[in-house]
Structures are given as structure tokens and as C-alpha cells.
Structure 1
């Protein structure tokens, strides 16, 4: 069995909760740091490429250490790299250029509800009533977030891109559910993340064509609601804190806690992102949007942690540690 030193579940739930909180805080700051770079002149795909490629280089030693995964789980590595890394982040960052950070992330949090829809209507496996309630709450909360009564006040393409991020995350959950009952040794999550970043970097290189990037932007400054900040500092935050630290602490927290408990803390990511965007970028949400966001998170939480109906196979959204890789389930 391929394991890492963090695979042993150590005592101390308080420490695990603290690490999960660090992961949520780290993930939550990615959009706030990326949006000023996009506003400064970088294409959203170029920002994603910089983030993924930089993180892949940092985690390259882990990829070398777990090189056996290339032979053991090639489909899982490809799926994680193309969907959970390249797909989710490309759609999310592209959405940031058109809609507020908090709205984009809240829409992405529909993924657990979408997974349950796949389980119920495509796989035709029963789900619990609590799971159905979670889906209904998430859909109703989303209607408040996008203010459907005003005729979708946000950019429709931005909303579509955010839904694309949720769809890519859903695709990864579904992919990683395949063959989990076969009794094969669970892959090391950090190894999967390292190779997923490498696969994502290669895919994004072909799509984003970084040689066309305006590299001079990184030598200049970007603005956080009018405050100048070195662009290189924002990029360093995105790569080292919002990606490498966020993924590693996410895996560690799930190993110390149950996936459900870690998932509760991970939902703070959307709250952190919304608050930071409010304070640092001046992106204010209305009272109905804030209330709708809370309902989306509640619905996603119920959908993610609900157990299936008795006698049914375990749905993806309620999967274990090795199935989701981290409390968040993917990078965003």
C-alpha cells in the first residue's frame, strides 16, 4: 500500500481543526489575489498557468517520490489533473474576470449537489432525504445569490464559467468513485496532487500559450481596491499559500479528522473569500445575496455529508479520505 508519513491518523482533533482552518483560509485567498493580476493585464488562463506550474515545480519532489502512481493509477492522475486542477481553476479564474469572487466560489460549491444528481438520475442509486434537502437548499440559495428576480444582474458568461468550475469538480468526484470498491491500495493523496498539478500544467501550457503572456505585468504593481501591491507578491501568495500550503494542509486535516468534519471547516473557504473580496476589493454583496450564500453552503454541506439510503452503495459526495483527496475535494 502506498502511504505517506501523514497517512497515520495522529491524535488531537483540535490540531486537525486548526490545520483544516488554515487550509480553508489559504484556499479562500486565491481569488482575491488573482483578480488584481487579471485587472492589471494578465489573461485569466495565464494566471492559472502560473499558479499550477509554480505549484507543480514546488511539489515535484513528491511526484518523484511517488512515481509508482504513474503505473498504478494513470486514469486517476489524468482525471485529477485535467478536471480538478486545470478545468476547475481555469473556469473559476475566468469567471473572476466577470463576476464577484464570492459569487463565483458559491456557485462552485454546487458540486456536491451535482454529484448527488449524478448518483440519483444517471447511476440510478437511491439517496437519502437529507441529501435531496441539501440539493434543494443549494439551488434555492443560488437563486438568491444571482438575484434571479432582477433578471440575472451578473454577466451570464461569468455565471456559466462558474458553473463550469462546479461541473469539472463534479466530474472529478465521479471519476474518482470508479473502482473504489475493487480493494486496490488507496493512492497517496499528496502524490496524486503532485502529479495532478504536473498534468494540469502540461494541459494549460497547450491551452494558455504562456509564451504570449505579457511578462512585464509581473514586474509591476497591481491594485487591491486602489492600494498598489507588487504583482510578484500576489503571484507568490497564489502559488505558495493558496495552492501548495492549501492542498497539503487540506490532506493533513482530513487524515486527522473525518472527511465530514473537515468538509464543514472547508466550507469556510467561501466565507473567507467573500469577506476578503469585500474588504480588499470592495466587492459588496446585498443582504439577499449573503443570505443566499449561507443557504448554498448549508445545502452543499448537507449534500456532502449525507449518508445514502440504507442498502445503497456509498455515493461519491459522502466518500472517504482517499476518494476526495482533501476536505475541499479539489483545488480552486
Structure 2
């Protein structure tokens, strides 16, 4: 009986589409969060609302996969601490000390760090083209965020931004690592959000938040928008959908490829800020966005896709046994 092997090009195409969708969803978070912050909410409170709201949405999946904490406690704890709480808390702490552009650039050094993890920790080969894609994406990102506009060498701020980058590496590595043993990625995300919400509750202290802001409205480029609608977008699209599509993309691509494609988040955020918030793009930013796209394309097209759903050695064994029979 013939054994069907899933087309790798189809799997990579789907993975790339999911990665792009994740970058689009994550990229829209800042545009919705900025009006809430300007309306009076503390940035850490916005982060807590984002993670806690997403955890509440995903709670039924956590109940459905209630055996996961017993089976994979380290994976869930790591995903919650690094991929959810760590990235958010470290990034917002960093931008309180250094320019946003500098912090964003340092955070998106994560794809390069992922390549280092794959090459030196996992001892797996990395193509030169993939490394070139990372370099191009990092250079393009520097143009997108206009890193030259305000450099600050605050040691603690830069350390916090680098910590955010390391936590983002944990996101990609853990999303890929959790693919074995029949672990449902949606269950991992659900418990990761619960762990992240618990950690951020201690850090953000939401009991001191001005809850009345959510009952009012916020201004988006001169347009009045209900604050609760902005929060709903952040929770449902920029967190739930973003994490789900992001983790699924890593499962179908690889941590290093998904990491490079994730750099598009900065491009998306900049374009949306231009369209929705009136923050205009300069020529270097447009050029930088094109370079990021080029780097992402080179990386994803030059790196092998994930192995087929059916392990090649198993297939070869079956073929050999069939021939012997």
C-alpha cells in the first residue's frame, strides 16, 4: 500500500502564511495600545489587560488540556515566563529608559540569536543564505525604526531590551520544542497565557489601575474610538490570534525562519501607525521595510522546511519490509 508524504512546499507555504498573519496581528498591538496609554492607562496595565484577557479567552482550552501541567510542566512554565511575561515586561521596562526605536531594534536581534541557538546549542547546520536574510532584516529594521534618530547608551535599558530579545528566542525555541509527544499547541498557548498573566499581575499591580478609562473613549488620529473596542482588538487579534498563528507557523517552518519573518511586525507596526495614527513614513523607513521583506524572503526560501509529517526513516523501513515480503 503506498505511503503518502505531505508535500513540503505546501507545508512551508502554509507556515509562511501563518507567520505573516502572526506578524500582522502582533504589529497591530501598538497602534491600539497607544491611544489607551494616552487616555491615561499605564503601559504595564495595558500589557496586563492584554495577557489576562487573552488567558480568559483561552481558558476553555486550558480546561480541555488539563493534563498538560502534569505532562509538560517545564514547557508551560517556560512559555509563560519567557514568551508571554518576559517579552512584554522587559520591552516596556526598556522603553522607559531608552528610545522605542533602539529597544525595538535590540529586541528584534532575536532571529540572529535563534540562528546562534540552532548552530551552537542544537548543533544543526545553518545556511549562509539564512544568515544573510537575518543580516538584511536587521539592517532594514534599523531603517524602519530610524535607530539613528535618538541613540542612548543607558546600560540598564539596553540590558532590558536584550533580555526581551532573549525571551523572544525562548518563544520561537519553545514553540518548536513543544511539537513532540502529541502536545496540542493551543493548550501550550492557553497555559502560557495563564502563567504570564499570573506573573504580570505581580509586576503590573492592576488593582492600582484607573479602570474608568476602559468605560470611556480614546482618540486615534483625531477620531474618537471606544476604549473597550481597542482593548478587544488587542486581546483577540493582537494576542490570541497572534500567538496561535505564530506558534503554528514555527511548527511548520523552523524557529530561525519564523524568527526572521517576525521582523515584519516592525514594518506592519510602522505602516499602521502611518495610516491610523498619522505618523508619517520617511524615505529611509520605506526603504528599510523593503529590505526587511527581502531578508525574510531569502531566509524562508533558502532554509529547508520542517520534516514531513511521516518520518522518512519509518517510510523507508516500510518500503524495505514490503520489498522483502
TM range (shorter): 0.7 to 0.9
1:208 has 2:207 as partner = no
- Asked if structure 2 preserves the Cα contact closer than 8 Å seen for 1:113 and 1:303, the reply is no
- What is the SS of the residue equivalent to 2:287? helix
Distance 2:265 2:148 in 1: 27
Q: Check conservation: 1:44, 1:94, Cα contact below 8 A.
A: no
Of the two, which has the highest radius of gyration? 2
Partner of 1:222: 218
- Given the superposition, is the C-alpha separation of residues 268 and 140 from structure 1 closer, same or farther in structure 2, using an over 3 Å criterion? closer
1:295 matched to which residue of 2? 291
Instruction: Report the Cα distance in structure 2 between the residues aligned to 1:41 and 1:291, rounded to whole angstroms.
Output: 35
Question: Deviation at 1:129?
Answer: 1.4
- Greater shift after overlay, 142-151 or 84-93? 142-151
- More divergent stretch after superposition (111-120 vs 18-27): 18-27
Tell me, yes or no, if the aligned pair for 2:99 and 2:151 is still in contact at 8 Å: no
* Alignment-derived partner of residue 244 in structure 1: 240
Distance in 2, matches of 1:149 and 1:96, equals 16
What is the aligned partner in structure 1 of residue 273 from structure 2? 277
Do the aligned residues in 2 keep the contact of 1:220 with 1:230 (CA within 8 Å)? yes
In terms of mean alpha carbon deviation, does 105-114 or 44-53 score higher?
105-114
1:73-92 aligned at under 5 Å gives the runs 73-92=72-91
- Once the two structures are superposed, residues 286-319 of structure 1 have per-residue CA deviations (whole angstroms, 9 ceiling, x without a partner) of 22233234334543554566548xxxxxxxxx76
- For 1:13-53, what per-residue CA distance to the aligned partner results, in whole angstroms no more than 9, with x for missing partners? 99988776654433321111011111222111111110111
Q: Distance in 2 between matches of 1:16 and 1:178?
A: 16
- Give 1:84 shift: 0.7
Provide the residue aligned with 2:282 in structure 1.
Answer: 286
Do the aligned residues in 1 keep the contact of 2:175 with 2:247 (CA within 8 Å)? no
**What is the aligned-residue RMSD (CA, Å)?**
4.1
Matches within 5 A, 1:318-329: none
Look up the SS of the partner of 2:143 in the other structure: helix
Matches of 1:276 and 1:74 in 2, distance apart? 38
Q: For structure 1, which segment, 279-288 or 15-24, has the greater mean C-alpha deviation from structure 2 after superposition?
A: 15-24
CA drift of 1:206 comes to 0.9
What stretches of structure 2 of length at least 5 have no aligned partner? 1-7, 310-325
* 1:187 maps to which of 153, 178, 183: 183
Distance 1:95 1:25 in 2: 23
Report the count of equivalent residues.
Answer: 298
Contact 1:146–1:154 (8 Å) recurs in 2: no
Displacement of 1:59: 0.7
Contact 1:116 1:303 (C-alpha < 8 Å) held by counterparts: no
TM-score under structure 1 length normalisation = 0.72
Could you say which residue in structure 1 is the equivalent of 2:317? Answer: none
Superposition deviation, residue 137 in structure 1: 2.1
Q: Which runs of 5+ in 1 are unaligned?
A: 1-8, 309-317, 323-332
Is the contact made by 1:140 and 1:292 (CA closer than 8 Å) also made in structure 2?
A: yes
More divergent stretch after superposition (232-241 vs 268-277): 268-277
- Say yes or no: does 1:34 pair with 2:33: yes
